[in-house]
C-alpha cells in the first residue's frame, strides 16, 4: 500500500513555497534504510522504494515543493535563502496520528539554489545520518534520518565525491527564518497565516502569537541545555537553522567536544567563535529575539510587553534546564544549596585540566557504582582539584539512594558519542564505497548509554594524530 501523504504546507498560499520536482539521478543505490523509524512512521516494506527516496519517482499523492525562508547567517540578514538543496515531498501521518515532514536533501536545484548545485555529497549525508540518529538515541529532540541513497553522480566540492540524498524526517521544517521571510516582505497576512499554521501544528494550546513564542522559547532553552549536556556544538546556529518545533536541525559542521573547553569551536567557517559551545544559549536567545521581532506586526504596541516578557524568561528557563541536565550528570538528587557551585566548579576544573568531557562523566557514573574513583582520577595530570571536588560531591550525595542515583547518572552520561574522528573515518570509507564502518558506528551509537565490551575502542577520545580540529559544511 503506498504511503498516504498529506500536504498541509503545500496548501498554504503560493508565497510560502515553490512547486519543485527533484532532479532525476543516474543510478540510485540504497546505502541505508532506517527500518525502525519507518515502522514508527507506519511505512511498511516497499512503500518507499529507493527511487522514491532519491527523488526519481514521486509517491502518488506527494506534492513536492521547496519552501521559502530567510535567515541571519553569522549575524547578517539574507532575505532569500529557502530550500536550495532540499525538497519537501509531503507529510506522513503516523499510526499515532502524528504528522512528520519527509524531505529529500541533496535532490537537485530549486528556485532557491542561487549559485549552489542543489546536491549533497555522501560525506554530508553520512554525517547527518550518524549524528541525527545519535542525537535521537541520546534523547535529544532532532530531525531523523530515514534513508541515505547514493545517486551514481559525482559532486564537486574541494574534491569530487559521490553524490547522495538524505531522506529526512522532521516534525516540520519551519524555521525562525520562515517567519523572517514574510516579515522582511512586510506581509502581515502571511505572518498571520504562518502563526496560525504553527500553532495548529506544533503548539495547539497556545492562545495567539505571544503564547506560541513563549513555548518556542521554552523548547529552545531545553534543547540547548540538552546539547550542552552531551558536549554538542551545532556549529551554524543561523536563524534559518533553528526549527520552530524545537528539534535540532541542519547538521552541517556540527561536532561533539572531546576535551572540555567552553570556547570550543569546530566549524571552519565560524572564525570568531560566534557559535562556540558556551555561546549557544546566548545565540539561541539572539535568534529568538529575531523571531519575536517578526511577531510585532501581529500583536501591535499592546503586545510588546508580552513579547519582552517571553524573551526575558529565556535566561531563567535556560539556567533551570542547564542545572537539571548537569544535576543528573552528577547524580544530584533533589535540590540543595551549593548544587550550582558543584557544577560550575567541575566544569572549571575540567577546562583547566584538558579532560575529555564524555569520558569524565561516564567514569563518574562508574565511580557511583563501584565507589572506585581511579579511572576518573587518571584523567587528570594533577588530580588534587578533582579529589577535593569529589569529596564535596560525596558529602552532597551521602544520603542519596544509590540505585536511583546510579540510574539517574547512567541515563545522563553516555558512554558513546559520535566522536569526530570516528565520523571522519566513516566518511572517508564511505567516499570509497565502504559502508562497513558506518554500519558499526550506527550500532555503537544506537545504544549510547549501554557499555558493550566489543565496542571499547569507541569510548576513547582520539589519539593525538586522530584529532579533528575543524569540520566543514561539506554541502
Ligand atoms: P545551511 O546554512 O548550510 O543550511 O544553508 C544555507 C542556505 O544555503 C540554504 O538556503 C540552503 O538551501 C543553501 N544551500 C546550501 N548548500 C547548497 C547547495 N549545495 N546548493 C544549493 N543551495 C545550497
Ligand atoms: Mg540550513
Determine if ligand 1 sits within 6 Å of the CB of residue 269: no
Please tell me whether residue 88 adopts helix, strand or coil conformation: strand
Please tell me whether residue 134 adopts helix, strand or coil conformation: helix
User: Within a domain: residue 277?
Assistant: no
Q: What is the pTM of this model?
A: 0.97
Mean pLDDT of 335-358: 97
Determine if ligand 1 sits within 6 Å of the CB of residue 116: yes
Q: What is the pLDDT of residue 398?
A: 96
Lookup result for grid cell 567514569: 363
Would you say residue 367 has pLDDT above 60?
yes
Give dist(CA 144, CA 132) in Å, integer: 6
User: What is the number of the ligand 1 atom nearest to the C-alpha of 250?
Assistant: 4
Counting ligands in written order, the one closest to the CA of 157 is: 1
Would you say residue 310 has pLDDT above 80?
yes
User: Within a domain: residue 150?
Assistant: yes
Determine if ligand 1 sits within 6 Å of the CB of residue 340: no
User: Which residue lies with its CA nearest to atom 12 of ligand 1?
Assistant: 84
pLDDT digits (tens, 9 = 90+) for 382-418: 999 999 999 999 999 999 999 999 999 999 999 999 9
Ligand 2: centre distance to CA 50 (Å): 24
User: Which residue lies with its CA nearest to atom 10 of ligand 1?
Assistant: 81
Determine if ligand 1 sits within 6 Å of the CB of residue 83: yes
Give dist(CA 382, CA 387) in Å, integer: 10
Determine if ligand 1 sits within 6 Å of the CB of residue 475: yes
User: Within a domain: residue 193?
Assistant: no
Candidate from 156-160, 236-240, 279-283, 453-457 with smallest mean pLDDT: 156-160
Would you say residue 474 has pLDDT above 60?
no
Question: What confidence category does residue 292 fall into, taking pLDDT thresholds of 50, 70 and 90?
Answer: very high
Percent of the chain with pLDDT over 90: 93
User: Within a domain: residue 106?
Assistant: yes
Determine if ligand 1 sits within 6 Å of the CB of residue 238: yes
Residue where a domain terminates, one of 121, 154, 176: 176
60-63, long-range: CB within 8 Å, 24+ apart, which pairs?
A: 60/2, 61/2, 61/4, 61/5, 61/7, 61/90, 62/5, 62/7, 62/89, 62/90, 63/5, 63/7, 63/10, 63/19, 63/89, 63/90
- Containing 19, the helix (H) or strand (E) segment is strand 17-19
pLDDT digits (tens, 9 = 90+) for 67-89: 999 999 999 999 999 999 999 99
Counting ligands in written order, the one closest to the CA of 120 is: 1
pLDDT digits (tens, 9 = 90+) for 181-213: 999 999 999 999 999 999 999 999 999 999 999
Mean pLDDT of 419-445: 97
Ligand 1: centre distance to CA 86 (Å): 9
Counting ligands in written order, the one closest to the CA of 238 is: 1
User: What is the number of the ligand 1 atom nearest to the C-alpha of 240?
Assistant: 2
Mean pLDDT of 141-151: 98
Three cell numbers written together for 171: 516534525
160 pairs with which residues across the strands? 156
Q: What is the pLDDT of residue 45?
A: 74
User: Which residue lies with its CA nearest to atom 13 of ligand 1?
Assistant: 84
Would you say residue 263 has pLDDT above 90?
yes
Number of folded domains in the chain? 2
DSSP state letters, 46-94: TSS-HHHHHTSS--TT---EEE---EEETTEEES----SSEEEEEEEEP
User: Which residue lies with its CA nearest to atom 7 of ligand 1?
Assistant: 81
Sign of the dihedral defined by the CA atoms of residues 394, 399, 400, 403, in that order: positive
Give dist(CA 72, CA 67) in Å, integer: 17
How confident is the prediction for the chain on average, in pLDDT?
96
User: Within a domain: residue 270?
Assistant: no
Q: What is the pLDDT of residue 475?
A: 53
Determine if ligand 1 sits within 6 Å of the CB of residue 111: no
State the Cα torsion 45-50-54-58 to the nearest 10°: -60
User: Within a domain: residue 449?
Assistant: no
Which of 66, 83, 84 has the most ligand 1 atoms within 8 A of CB, as the residue to mutate? 84
Range of the domain at 43: 5-176
Ligand 1: centre distance to CA 174 (Å): 15
Report the catalytic residues.
240
Residue where a domain terminates, one of 370, 391, 412: 412
Q: What is the pLDDT of residue 169?
A: 98
Would you say residue 118 has pLDDT above 60?
yes
Three cell numbers written together for 403: 540505585
User: Within a domain: residue 438?
Assistant: no
Residue where a domain terminates, one of 143, 161, 176: 176
Give dist(CA 248, CA 169) in Å, integer: 12
Mean pLDDT of 315-340: 97
Determine if ligand 1 sits within 6 Å of the CB of residue 103: no
User: Within a domain: residue 433?
Assistant: no
Angle at 29 between CA 27 and CA 30, to 5 degrees: 155
Percent of the chain with pLDDT over 70: 99
Counting ligands in written order, the one closest to the CA of 85 is: 1
User: What is the number of the ligand 1 atom nearest to the C-alpha of 83?
Assistant: 12
Question: What confidence category does residue 434 fall into, taking pLDDT thresholds of 50, 70 and 90?
Answer: very high
Amino acid at each position: 500500500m503506498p504511503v498516504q501523504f498529506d500536504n498541509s504546507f503545500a496548501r498554504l498560499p503560493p508565497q510560502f513555497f515553490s512547486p519543485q520536482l527533484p532532479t532525476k539521478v543516474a543510478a540510485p543505490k540504497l546505502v541505508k534504510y532506517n527500518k525502525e523509524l519507518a515502522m514508527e512512521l507506519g511505512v511498511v516494506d516497499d512503500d518507499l522504494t529507493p527511487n522514491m527516496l532519491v527523488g526519481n519517482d514521486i509517491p502518488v499523492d506527494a506534492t513536492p515543493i521547496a519552501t521559502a525562508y530567510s535567515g541571519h547567517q553569522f549575524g547578517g540578514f539574507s532575505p532569500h535563502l529557502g530550500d536550495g538543496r532540499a525538497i519537501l515531498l509531503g507529510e506522513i501521518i503516523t499510526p499515532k496520528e502524528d504528522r512528520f515532514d519527509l524531505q529529500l536533501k541533496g535532490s537537485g536545484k530549486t528556485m532557491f539554489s542561487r549559485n549552489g548545485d542543489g546536491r549533497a555529497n555522501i560525506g554530508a549525508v553520512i554525517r547527518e545520518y550518524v549524528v541525527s540518529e545519535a542525537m535521537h538515541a541520546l534523547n535529544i529532540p532532532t530531525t531523523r534520518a530515514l534513508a541515505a541513497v547514493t545517486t551514481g553522480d559525482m559532486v564537486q566540492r574541494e574534491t569530487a565525491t559521490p553524490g547522495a540524498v538524505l531522506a529526512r524526517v522532521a516534525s516540520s521544517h519551519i524555521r525562525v527564518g520562515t517567519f523572517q521571510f514574510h516579515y522582511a516582505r512586510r506581509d502581515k497576512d502571511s505572518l498571520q497565516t504562518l502563526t496560525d499554521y504553527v500553532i495548529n501544528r506544533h503548539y495547539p494550546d497556545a492562545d495567539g502569537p505571544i503564547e506560541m513564542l513563549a513555548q518556542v522559547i521554552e523548547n529552545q532553552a531545553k534543547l540547548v541545555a540538552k546539547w550542552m549536556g552531551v558536549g554538542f556544538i551545532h556549529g551554524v546556529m543561523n536563524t534559518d537553522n533553528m526549527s520552530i518545533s524545537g528539534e535540532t536541525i541542519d547538521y552541517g559542521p556540527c561536532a561533539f567536544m572531546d576535551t572540555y573547553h567552553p570556547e570550543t569551536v569546530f566549524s571552519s567557517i565560524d572564525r570568531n567563535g560566534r557559535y562556540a559551545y558556551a555561546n549557544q544559549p546566548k545565540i539561541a536567545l539572539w535568534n529568538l529575539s529575531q523571531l519575536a521581532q517578526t511577531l510585532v506586526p501581529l500583536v501591535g504596541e499592546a503586545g510588546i510587553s508580552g513579547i519582552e516578557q517571553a524573551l526575558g524568561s529565556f535566561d531563567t528557563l535556560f539556567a533551570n534546564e542547564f542545572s537539571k541536565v548537569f544535576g543528573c550528570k552528577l547524580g544530584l538528587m533533589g535540590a540543595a544549596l551549593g548544587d550550582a557551585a558543584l557544577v560550575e566548579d567541575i566544569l572549571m576544573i575540567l577546562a583547566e585540566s584538558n579532560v575529555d568531557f564524555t569520558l569524565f562523566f561516564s567514569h563518574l557514573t562508574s565511580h557511583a557504582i563501584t565507589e572506585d574513583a581511579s579511572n576518573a582520577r587518571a584523567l587528570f595530570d594533577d588530580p588534587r582539584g578533582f579529589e577535593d571536588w569529589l569529596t564535596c560531591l560525596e558529602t552532597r550525595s551521602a544520603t542519596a539512594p544509590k540505585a536511583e542515583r546510579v540510574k539517574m547518572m547512567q541515563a545522563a552520561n553516555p558512554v558513546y558519542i559520535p566522536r569526530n574522528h570516528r565520523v571522519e573515518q566513516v566518511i572517508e570509507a564511505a567516499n570509497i564505497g565502504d559502508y562497513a564502518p558506518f554500519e558499526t558506528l550506527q550500532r555503537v551509537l544506537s545504544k549510547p548509554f549501554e557499555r558493550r565490551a566489543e565496542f571499547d575502542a569507541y569510548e576513547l577520545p582520539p589519539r593525538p594524530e586522530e584529532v579533528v580540529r575543524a569540520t566543514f559544511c561539506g554541502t
